Structure 1
Amino acid sequence: MHEEGKRGGAQPLSLDMLGSSTGSRAVAWSERDTMLYALGVGAGRDGSEAELGFVTENSGGCGLQAIPSFVTALVVAAERPPAMAALDAGRFLHAGQAFELPEPFPASGRGLLTNAITGLRDTGADAIVTNSATLRHDQDGRVLARLRSSIFVRGGGGFDKSPSEGVPWSLPARDPDREIVVETRPDQALLYRLSGDRHRLHSDPAFARKLGFERPILHGLCTYGIACRALVRAAADGMPSRLRGMDARFRRPVMPGDTLATQVWLDGTTAALFRVVGAQGQVVLDRGTALLAAELRP
């Protein structure tokens, strides 16, 4: 986001954008990348042994494991489809993110990534663009991950005369079955940005004030990664291999140093609902669904 994205007069999007693709691009990640991402979303901060497998490869005989949401950092750092790259990025807001893993994501590897625009939704004055990405193993072609991101585009509406509605979502009428509370670090955004998203909004105080924030805000995908850690603990019984997917919407900005509570509702199936609530009770991440490899009852 930047100041230009706040002004009116932006041109609407076009249905011709559908199908715009990056083609196949090579990506690679190392164990260092995996550990740095884990530290960026707060793993290992409390000094306990529970998350050593995310931040080290040689402690107590544990092998390095990737936090499932690590795959989102690989895609965000990659090239956008041409039809998106041609737009002013100042009009964009990251509205939602989802991923699905057919198998546990490897701590290091190489793959081929394709990213394409697969959906356009006219909300009236604005629009939501859906980008879908597939990451395949570079040798045998098996799917390592499927991802979907929703991008809110200011001033992009007006191309569809019958705007579609969003998918209904609601929480059970009871208290959450699990709640994981964490305090983010004052320097959380500075640490997380080393995983690839170096937008000035998360590091430059003057730039953040220009956009109306008192100081740099936390990356939405950092909050998403913190929620992923909480889901591994609360819904996947501490086993990252059991968390095979996440889907959530971004609602409000988070400031580095804020306390976040991930609330989880279980119903004995292979899906759980969740949301993330800030220190003042404001919902910052909602419409959350977690996909599990095996059911876990309340």
Structure 2
Amino acid sequence: MALDPDHLLNYCIPPVRQHYSRQDSAFYALSLGFGADPMDEAQLSFVDANRDVQALPCMAVVLGHPGFWLGNPDTGVDALRLVHAEQSVEWRSALPPEGEVIGRTRVTGLVDKGPGKGALLYSEKVLSDAVSGEVYAITRGTTFLRGDGGFGGDRQSLCQPHRVPERTPELVVDLPTRSEQALYYRLNGDDNPIHSSPATAAKGGFERPILHGLCTLGVAYHALLRGLADYRVERFAHLQARFCAPVFPGETLRTEMWNDGSFRTRVVERDLLVLDNGLVSLAQEESN
């Protein structure tokens, strides 16, 4: 059965109201691998909830998360054959280490790549304070629906990727992932079984459960924060990247960076590019 684009473009995704604690902020950082070096005071400031813990701004991608809504049968999507294709985060104000937020998610576009070529679904989440309405971040994602092309829609992609420089990167940071990292990360709210169940992963065409794309992006964010910002979270205003291939938990991620904020990430063990077309932009006060 062909996908119904009108139904999906107007699909109602209920707002998510979420309270989070300092412990939740610390757990999110731990799920990305922060704290792996217990002697690194800069990392400890994000994972020790007993001190003046900082919230990682990239936690905006999991707060107010609507869950695996594309897995609902009434979406008409082949949920076993979808993958995260692109992600961006635009930060509007500092995310406090604890509080109550509302995430409002909507579908913003749908592109038909053609029969047998899949489709692209674009979505946006506005994350705001539940009381004041202050917007903390706007996250935008693209999901590749591998089994849902050919419904006759527009074939022009809505987002153009950033081109990273062709010259040698100015900085390289290697960060390991843990074999159980996807099991930790899914507790942030993304419980797609492709990240935990070998049988589900096999049905999706993977030899074993894969790491969440947003976890891969979070590890790259850690590398950028270390390499370009000296762990000063206020330095970044916007981040974007395109997912190229899945990561298996336990692999090492090498993030290559340029001074203009361009970046890409590859798996060291397989010499495989997993994030490309990356760009992180400096906050206005830092770029003057």
Normalised to the residue count of structure 1, the TM-score between the two structures is 0.85
Question: What's the % identity of the aligned pairs?
Answer: 37
One of 8, 17, 23 as aligned partner of 1:17: 8
Q: Is the 8 A contact 1:261 1:277 kept in 2?
A: yes
One of 21, 29, 41 as aligned partner of 1:30: 21
One of 70, 73, 79 as aligned partner of 2:62: 73
SS of the counterpart of 2:277? Answer: strand
Aligned length: 281
- CA 295–123 in structure 1, closer or farther in 2 if over 3 Å, else same: farther
Q: CA RMSD in A?
A: 2.5
- CA 25–238 in structure 1, closer or farther in 2 if over 3 Å, else same: closer
Shift of 1:162: 5.2
Per-residue displacement from partner, 1:129-166 (whole Å, max 9, x unpaired)? 11111112111111111111111113433344652145
Partner of 1:274: 263
Q: List 4+ stretches of structure 1 deviating above 6 A.
A: 81-84
Residue 150 of structure 2 corresponds to residue 150 of structure 1: no
SS of the counterpart of 1:150? Answer: strand
Partner of 1:6: none
Partner of 1:215: 208
Shift of 1:243: 1.9
Partner of 1:265: 258
Residue 193 of structure 2 corresponds to residue 200 of structure 1: yes
Residue 227 of structure 2 corresponds to residue 227 of structure 1: no
Partner of 1:286: 276
Q: Is the 8 A contact 1:92 1:153 kept in 2?
A: yes
Q: Counterpart of 1:33 in structure 2: which amino acid? A: D
- CA 118–232 in structure 1, closer or farther in 2 if over 3 Å, else same: same
- CA 162–85 in structure 1, closer or farther in 2 if over 3 Å, else same: closer
Q: Counterpart of 2:101 in structure 1: which amino acid? A: G
Q: Is the 8 A contact 1:21 1:114 kept in 2?
A: no
Partner of 2:127: 135
Q: Is the 8 A contact 1:117 1:130 kept in 2?
A: yes
SS of the counterpart of 1:191? Answer: helix
Distance 1:138 1:210 in 2: 39
Distance 2:244 2:151 in 1: 25
Q: Counterpart of 2:274 in structure 1: which amino acid? A: V
Q: Is the 8 A contact 2:81 2:145 kept in 1?
A: yes
Which moves more between the two structures, 86-95 or 230-239?
Answer: 86-95
Partner of 1:103: 93
Instruction: Show the 5 A alignment for 1:178-197.
Output: 178-197=171-190
Q: Counterpart of 2:228 in structure 1: which amino acid? A: A
Distance 1:296 1:173 in 2: 23
SS of the counterpart of 1:69? Answer: helix
Partner of 1:4: none
One of 169, 174, 192 as aligned partner of 2:167: 174
Per-residue displacement from partner, 1:201-237 (whole Å, max 9, x unpaired)? 2222344344443322211111111011111112223
One of 53, 57, 74 as aligned partner of 2:49: 57
SS of the counterpart of 1:95? Answer: strand
Give ranges in structure 1 of 5+ residues lacking alignment. Answer: 1-9
Distance 1:124 1:296 in 2: 42
Per-residue displacement from partner, 1:15-67 (whole Å, max 9, x unpaired)? 453343435432221111111111110000111212111101334xxx21111
Residue 233 of structure 2 corresponds to residue 243 of structure 1: no
Normalised to the residue count of structure 2, the TM-score between the two structures is 0.87
- CA 171–29 in structure 1, closer or farther in 2 if over 3 Å, else same: same
Which moves more between the two structures, 18-27 or 138-147?
Answer: 18-27
Q: Counterpart of 2:108 in structure 1: which amino acid? A: T
Shift of 1:173: 2.1
Give ranges in structure 2 of 5+ residues lacking alignment. Answer: none
Partner of 1:45: 36
- CA 55–183 in structure 1, closer or farther in 2 if over 3 Å, else same: same
SS of the counterpart of 1:232? Answer: helix
Shift of 1:199: 2.6
Shift of 1:249: 1.5
- CA 135–179 in structure 1, closer or farther in 2 if over 3 Å, else same: same
Distance 1:101 1:71 in 2: 9
